[in-house]
Amino acid sequence: MPASEQTAVKVEKSLSEAFNPEQLNAADTVLVQNRGRPGALIPVLKEIQDVTGYIPLALQERIAAGLNLSLSEVYGVVTFYSFFRQEPIGRNLIKVCLGTACYVRGNKDLVENLSRDLDCKVGGTTEDRRFSIEGVRCLGCCGIAPVITVGEDVHREVRAKDMPAILEQYE
C-alpha cells in the first residue's frame, strides 16, 4: 500500500473513533456547502465545532481537504483563535472572566481557588470529565463583576465562598 493511502486509512479510523457518523456527515455537509467560498474557513470551523465539540488534527485534515486548503492554513487558524479546541471538554464548561473589572474585584483569587479545589488547571478538564475551566477575556458584564459562566448560565458577583453552591447545580 502506498504511504499516502496508509495515512488516509489511519485518519478515518481515529475520526470514526472520536465521532459518530451523524457528526461526520454534518461536518461534511458544511464542507460541501462552503467549498470555494472566500473567507469561509472560520465560520466553517465554528459550525463544525458546534457539532463535534472539538477539532482534533484528524478532523482538521478532513476540513483542509474539503475546503481545498493546506493543513497548515487550517491548523494555523485553529491554534490562533481561542474559540477553537483541539481537546474535548467536560460536561460543564466553567468560564471565568479575566477582564480588568473582574480582576480588580477578586477573580484572580477565585480562579486560583477553583483550580485548586477541582484539582484542574485553567484550560483543563477534571478527571471525571464533570468540569472544564476556561479563562475568558472580558465578557463585557463588568457592572456585575466578578462574573463566571457555567454552560449558558451567568453568575454575578461571585465570591470564593459561593463556588461550592454554584458547582453543586451541575452534574
Partner 1 sequence: MERISVGDLDRIKTEVNRRKDLASNGKKAGITVHMGTCGIASGADKVWQSLFDLLKQKGESEDAYRIMHTGCVGFCGMEPIITVELRGQKPVRYRRVDPAKLEQILDKHVLGGEVEEDLVLSEEEDPFFQGQKFVVLRNRGRIDPESIDDYIAYDGYKGLQKALTRMKPEGIVEEVLRSGIRGRGGAGFPTGMKWKFCMQAKGEEKFVLCNADEGDPGAYMDRSVLESDPHSVLEGMAIAARAIGASQGYIYCRAEYPVAVETLEKAIAAAREYGLFGEDILGTGFSFNVDLYVGAGAFVCGEETALMASVEGRRGNPRPRPPFPANEGLWNKPTILNNVETLSNVPNIIREGADWYHGIGYEKSRGTKVFALTGAVKNVGLVEVPMGTPLRDIVFSIGGGIPNKRKFKALQVGGPSGGCLPEDQLDNPTDYEAITKAGAIMGSGGMIVMDETTCMVDMARFFMDFCQEESCGKCTPCREGTKQTLRILERITKGEGKPEDMDTLEELSHIIKDSALCGLGQTAPNPVLSTLRYFRHEYEAHINEKICPAHACVALVNFEVDVEKCTMCGLCHRACPVGAITWEKKQPAKIDKGVCVKCMSCIAACRFDAIS
Judged by CB under 8 A, how many residues of this single chain contact partner 1?
Answer: 46
Using CB under 8 A, pick the residue from 113, 166, 167, 170 that binds partner 1: 113
Q: How far is the CB of 171 from partner 1 (least distance, A)?
A: 22
The DSSP secondary structure of the chain, one letter per residue, reads --HHHHHHHHHHHHHHHHS-HHHHHHHHHHHHHHTT-TT-HHHHHHHHHHHHSS--HHHHHHHHHHHT--HHHHHHHHHHSTT--SS---SEEEEEE-SHHHHHTTHHHHHHHHHHHTT--TT-B-TTSSEEEEEES--S-GGG-S-EEETTEEE-S--GGGHHHHHHT--
Q: How far is the CB of 99 from partner 1 (least distance, A)?
A: 4
Q: How far is the CB of 13 from partner 1 (least distance, A)?
A: 29
Based on the shown chain and the rule CB under 8 A, indicate whether residue 36 belongs to the binding site for partner 1: no
Based on the shown chain and the rule CB under 8 A, indicate whether residue 122 belongs to the binding site for partner 1: no
Q: How far is the CB of 44 from partner 1 (least distance, A)?
A: 9
Using CB under 8 A, pick the residue from 101, 150, 166, 167 that binds partner 1: 101
Using CB under 8 A, pick the residue from 7, 137, 151, 169 that binds partner 1: 137
Q: How far is the CB of 48 from partner 1 (least distance, A)?
A: 12
Q: Is residue 38 reached through a cis peptide bond, with omega within 30 degrees of 0 on the bond before it? A: no
Stretch that binds partner 1, among 4-12, 18-26, 119-127, 132-140 (CB under 8 A): 132-140
Give the Cα separation of 19 and 163 in Å (integer). Answer: 33
List all residues 6 or more positions away from 98 whose beta carbon is below 8 Å from its beta carbon: 107, 111, 135, 136, 137, 138
Using CB under 8 A, pick the residue from 84, 94, 96, 120 that binds partner 1: 84
Contact residues for partner 1, defined by CB under 8 A: 38-43, 45-46, 73, 76-77, 80-84, 98-101, 103-106, 108-109, 112-113, 116, 136-145, 147, 154-156, 159-161
